Amino acid sequence: MARSATFFALFLATHASLVLLYPFTLSRLLLTASIYTVGTLIMLYLLFHPRSQWLVDNRSRVEGERCLAVTFDDGPNPLDTPKLLDILRDKNVKATFFVVGKRADQYPEIVRRAWAEGHLIANHTWSHRHLFCFLTPGRLRTEIERGSESVRRICGFRPRLFRSPVGLRHPLLRPYLKDAGLEYVSWTMRTRDTFARNPGMLARRILKQATSGDIILLHDHLPDGTHVMLEALPRVIDELRQRGFEFVLAGPREDAVVTTQEPAASESAR
Ligand SMILES: [Zn+2]
């Protein structure tokens, strides 16, 4: 909580610096502009940098010699996620799915299938608000809680891993995740699959960057579909395997099986 308070103090101090403008002189304007700019840049860094540890502890790597974790955000998607699951099953790769609660509620059978096939299901908030770092405290808690509740309803356990929309931070994220029993997981490799138009280029970009311990960020739901990623993925998997990499989950699956009060676990057997 101390870091949240420090962040708010920085926010207030940055804005309070505007009083230095009075009485107006050129030197006061320069001083105020400098303080305001530096304060704002620090705040933007803390809120937007995906691997910054300051506002919330987060993990962006996996343990193990020549291990990699492939993670898929924003799904489930009724068309693309089943195709992705087919590829992962054919290639015998286990992945981690950061699902959007609202979408998971719409397509619960896809999430159940992913869980039943050995993948890990994690919380990517309830509705994927792009202005996540500006949410009110109540709304932030709701986004986290409803996301976890959706996974619990569908799979019978509360997820243990969390990733925010676009990796954005929030000054209150650390205490709220602690309350919800969630660990923040970011990534080492942003593949930029959201902009990719050419499967060959996407595959080459991933293969060029991949190193041991990476957590790779991909998406199984995009406005224009994920066919580029789906086409690139089999080649990426084959080549990385040839190089001796092993695909692991972003967190232990046993950890996900947390005892819940209600016996929703029966659904996970499907
Ligand atoms: Zn996302």
Average pLDDT per 10 consecutive residues for the chain, totaling 270 residues: 85 90 90 92 83 85 95 98 98 98 98 97 96 93 97 95 93 94 95 95 97 97 96 98 97 64 42
Which pLDDT does position 54 carry in this prediction? 83
Rg (CA), the chain: 21
Distance 166 CA to ligand 1 centre (A): 5
- At residue 109, φ and ψ (nearest 5 deg) are -65, -30
Alpha-carbon distance of 101 to 105, in angstroms, equals 6
Measured in angstroms, how far is the CA atom of residue 25 from the centroid of ligand 1? 46
Residue 21 CA to ligand 1 center (angstroms) comes to 41
Q: Which residues of 187-221 are buried (b: 16+ CB within 10 A; e: fewer)?
A: bbbebebbebeebeebbebbeeebebbbbbbbbbb
Per-residue model confidence (pLDDT) at position 252: 87
Three-state DSSP state, 22: coil
The CA angle 86-90-92, to the nearest 5 degrees, is: 110
Q: How far is the CA of 130 from the centre of ligand 1 (A)?
A: 8
The pLDDT of residue 255 is 53
pLDDT of residue 1: 75
User: Residue 184, SS3?
Assistant: strand
- Name the amino acid, one letter, at 60: S
Structure tokens at 58: 């987060």
Beta-bridge partners for 204: none
Which pLDDT value is given to residue 262? 46
Cα 217 to ligand 1 centre (Å): 10
Reported pTM: 0.88
Give helix 199-209 / helix 227-242 axis angle, nearest 10°: 40
Residue 104: what pLDDT?
98
C-alpha distances out from residue 83 to 62, 155, 203, 216, 243, Å = 26, 20, 18, 19, 25
Catalytic residue set: 73, 219
pLDDT value of residue 44: 86
